[in-house]
Structure 1
């Protein structure tokens, strides 16, 4: 009967993540963190609505909308 090879203990989530980061860095990548608005927060959604309302009232709004319509090729949008 062949000798059993003892498996190393399983790695912790922290160790697995560290190994993953090391592999990615070895491939020439680096981590980047992005912060985005939390749309689950009612205060954030209300602020977005407030800002959108202000933008909609801007005197140049119609001209900007016309420019966007002329500049964008919508044919690939589904």
Structure 2
């Protein structure tokens, strides 16, 4: 017989499924892992270098901001 907590969880999951939703498992990087911060910095440096080398990027970003000026 399921425990009261597991029964409530199952009821909730059943209700979500009945509403047309389904569970999805997502794996993300472990931010506590040794070397994570260094890898983030390494990748950020690569992106920053690529951004500096792209002469059209700032014009593109400025043009795209026009679309969000009136967002609330």
C-alpha RMSD over aligned residues? 2.6
Q: Which runs of 5+ in 1 are unaligned?
A: 1-9
* TM score, norm. by length of structure 1: 0.60
The structure with the larger Rg is 1
* TM score, norm. by length of structure 2: 0.63
Higher helix fraction: Structure 1 or Structure 2?
A: 2
Q: Which runs of 5+ in 2 are unaligned?
A: none
Report 1:38-77 matches (<5 A).
38-41=30-33, 43-58=35-50, 59-60=53-54, 62-73=55-66, 74-75=68-69
User: How far does residue 30 in structure 1 lie from its aligned partner after superposition?
Assistant: 0.9
User: How far does residue 36 in structure 1 lie from its aligned partner after superposition?
Assistant: 3.0
Report the secondary structure of 1:28's partner residue: coil
1:5-51 C-alpha deviation (Å, 9 max, x unpaired): xxxxx71x222211110111111111122233344545223212111
